[in-house]
Amino acid sequence: MRYLRLIAISILILWAIAGAAQTPRSVPRIFVIGTGGTISGGVDPATGQSRSLGAKDLVALVPSLRGKVEIDEEDFTRIGSSSMTPEIQFRLAQRVKDLFKTRADLAGIVITHGTDSLEETSFLVDLIVNDPRPVVFAAAQRPPRVSDSDGPRNLENAIRTAMSPLSRDKGVLVSLNEDLHSARYVSKSHAIAVESFNSGKKGMVGTVDKGRVIFYSLPLNRVTIAATAVEPRVDLVRLVAGDQGKFINSAVETKAAGVVIEAFGRGNMPRAVSDAVEKARKAGLIVVVVSRTQEGRVELSDDLTKSGVISGEDLDGLKARILLVVALGATKDIPTIQQWFHQAGGVIER
């Protein structure tokens, strides 16, 4: 009897092992959102519409991932990213929030996007979405109709990044040319080169090397804002030699809600521009000052600070404008908005 029991137990163990071996291994599920752009085929100059492959078509271009991931697809819009607006970007961010809220099964979300305004859209989504699961943008400099298109490779790397548990709690990421960038720092620096996206002195945060997702550093200084809308009436003005402040005055005349000024050096501006800034503040415009040098933090004069002008810290003009667009959708309180810029710039108030 004792031996029979041992035999029976052994058989049960073998059955359990065999059953486990036959159970399909679970794979992560990713949601791919298409928005158009070169990665989907480019833009028809006559209509501004993408030519175009949908999200499902794009996913079909990366067969190497079959069996390794479950993918749902959706076409959110099909436009060239030069036609993106803050309203569309905000709706996209809301769609991402809704998916994360209703889809606990998702490991992450991938968004295909044109390169023209990718740095702005990705940053706006980063400001709105507060979920540990990754959101990864993929784009291309060469359309799928050419033999050396970088789109399929960039999309595959973005999906692999969204699948990886290592990508959690790193905010919105941008995947191009094997590089992984934080949406907070990434910018487009070349019109057509495949290595056109970089993060300046802050550097990329990781890479995808032969399918392996590797991170070198953590993106810091994230800001999330509980905005229920965005304020698109924010102008961006770059100062030039001999500037008389006419574009700042124009912002006042056209009733802009805010203006971001790319000033000289650490925030320097000629007297005529300072007068225009004072006029803008008296008219109720929210004014943010950054440097036109792209790198480096501004240091505002006491007069500007006392008048309520906000330091944009080390943000470039495009990122500062997006932050103000989102911030004004939540509040017009200058100290609160300044605190968000401090946070994005890594400044800790004591």
**How confident is the model over 76-116, as pLDDT tens digits?**
999 999 999 999 999 999 999 999 999 999 999 999 999 99
Per the model's pLDDT, the better-predicted residue between 247 and 48 turns out to be 247
What is the C-alpha to C-alpha distance for residues 114 and 92, in angstroms, rounded to an integer? 14
Q: How do 70-75 and 106-112 pair as beta strands?
A: unpaired
Residues 55 and 74: their CA atoms lie apart, in Å, by: 6
Residue 8 has pLDDT above 60, yes or no: no
pLDDT at 254: 97
Which of the 8 DSSP states describes residue 33? E
Q: Which of the residue ranges 24-38, 41-55, 113-127, 306-320 would you say has the lowest mean pLDDT?
A: 41-55
4: pLDDT strictly greater than 60: no
Q: Residue 297 phi/psi, 5° resolution?
A: -95, 145
**Domains 29-215 and 234-344 fall in the same CATH topology:** yes
Choose among 114, 111, 55: nearest CA to 80: 114
327 pLDDT band (50/70/90 cuts)? Answer: very high
**Right CATH for 29-215 from 3.40.50.720, 3.40.50.1170, 3.90.1150.10, 3.40.50.300:** 3.40.50.1170
Q: What is the mean pLDDT of the chain?
A: 91
pLDDT at position 12: 46
**Domain boundaries along the sequence of the chain:** 29-215, 234-344
- CATH 3.40.50.40, applies to 234-344: yes
Residue 331 designated active-site: no
Which pLDDT belongs to residue 23?
A: 39
Is the distance from CB of 135 to CB of 129 less than 8 angstroms? yes
The one catalytic residue among 23, 35, 38, 228:
38
pLDDT tens figures, 147-203: 889 889 999 999 999 999 999 999 999 999 999 999 999 999 999 888 889 999 899
Contact in structure between 134 and 173 (CB atoms under 8 Å) = yes
